[in-house]
């Protein structure tokens, strides 16, 4: 019998590719998506659950799966404040993880960022590091942390800084070799591919995968 996957962040750049690949992968029989708004997508394997992320406790019976894929993420500019940013990038992923763990999920995978560390002086990286630690403390059988560098792809929402960086990335990438290889930009589709690859591994514990490793999957 195949596995059930639960995905949060399906409307985002990486999450969209994760959903597409999960639906095509025979390893997973069922894909549950938690979303604020409908994806307007029909598929025999897909179950869409429209949720209020501020009231996730009301959806406990829906947050059930063997494996959880978390692609939630925003920017401070898009969120409007550091507090709002932390709600999306820390509080929501942690609450999903807590409920999924209570419902016996065995594995959790999350996309954070290269340089994520709770001791970072950069707020963005610090929040990413804090959520990594908090979810790690829940002791899933397997917890995979994917830490990409600059993510390449066409987002539905505009991120001006990233747009400029993506334009310059071909030049930037030529300078990234040797120990700097991990800083090369990475396609969102490749992150999704790596995420699903790791989800099928039987290795247990907390595993961090930096961008350079993700490129090789």
Q: CA 71 to CA 13: how far, in whole Å?
A: 9
Residue whose token pair is 């990475």: 186
Catalytic residue among 28, 90, 124, 198: 124
| Span 32-82, pLDDT tens digits | 999 999 999 999 999 999 999 999 999 999 999 999 999 999 988 999 999
| 34 against 156, higher pLDDT | 34
Contacts of 6 (CB under 8 A, 6+ apart): 31, 32, 33, 34, 63, 64, 65, 67, 68, 69, 96, 100, 105
Mean pLDDT (whole number) for 156-176: 47
128 labelled catalytic: yes
Map out the domains of the chain with their CATH numbers.
3-214 (3.40.50.720)
Is the predicted pLDDT of residue 135 greater than 80, yes or no? Answer: yes
| Lowest mean pLDDT, pick from 24-33, 59-68, 133-142, 160-169 | 160-169
Dihedral sign for Cα atoms in the order 206, 208, 214, 217: negative
Considering the chain, what percentage of its residues have pLDDT values greater than 70?
86
pLDDT of residue 185: 84
Residue whose token pair is 């992923």: 93
Is the predicted pLDDT of residue 169 greater than 50, yes or no? Answer: no
The two tokens of residue 37 are 């708004």
Is the predicted pLDDT of residue 129 greater than 60, yes or no? Answer: yes
* Alpha-carbon dihedral angle through residues 110, 106, 9, 198, given to the nearest 10 degrees: 50
Q: 17 with 111: CB under 8 angstroms?
A: no
DSSP 19-53: HHHHHH-TTEEEEEEEESS------TTEEEEE--G
Backbone phi and psi for residue 115, each to the nearest 5 degrees, phi listed first: 95, 0
pLDDT of residue 184: 78
| Lowest mean pLDDT, pick from 19-28, 146-155, 190-199 | 146-155
Q: 193 with 159: CB under 8 angstroms?
A: no
Catalytic residue among 3, 86, 128, 184: 128
| 178 against 115, higher pLDDT | 115
Is the predicted pLDDT of residue 174 greater than 60, yes or no? Answer: no
The two tokens of residue 119 are 């001791």
pTM of the model: 0.88
Is the predicted pLDDT of residue 191 greater than 90, yes or no? Answer: yes
């Amino acid at each position: 019998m195949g596995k059930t996957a639960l995905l949060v962040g399906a409307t985002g750049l990486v999450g969209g590719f994760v959903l597409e690949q999960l639906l095509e992968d025979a390893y997973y029989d069922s894909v549950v998506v938690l979303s604020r708004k409908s994806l307007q997508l029909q598929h025999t394997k897909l179950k869409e659950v429209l949720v209020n992320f501020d009231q996730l406790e009301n959806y406990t019976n829906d947050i059930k799966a063997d494996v959880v894929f978390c692609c939630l993420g925003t920017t401070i500019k898009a969120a409007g404040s550091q507090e709002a940013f932390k709600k999306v990038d820390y509080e929501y992923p942690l609450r999903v993880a807590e409920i999924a763990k209570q419902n016996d999920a065995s594995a959790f995978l999350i996309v954070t960022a290269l340089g994520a560390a709770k001791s970072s002086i950069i707020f963005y990286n610090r929040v990413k590091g804090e959520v990594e630690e908090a979810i790690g403390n829940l002791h899933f059988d397997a917890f995979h942390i994917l830490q990409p560098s600059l993510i390449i792809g066409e987002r539905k929402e505009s991120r001006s800084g990233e747009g400029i960086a993506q334009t310059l990335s071909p030049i930037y990438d030529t300078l990234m070799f040797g120990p700097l290889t991990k800083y090369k930009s990475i396609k969102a589709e490749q992150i999704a591919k790596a995420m699903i690859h790791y989800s099928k591994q039987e290795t247990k514990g907390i595993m961090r995968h930096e961008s350079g490793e993700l490129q090789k999957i």
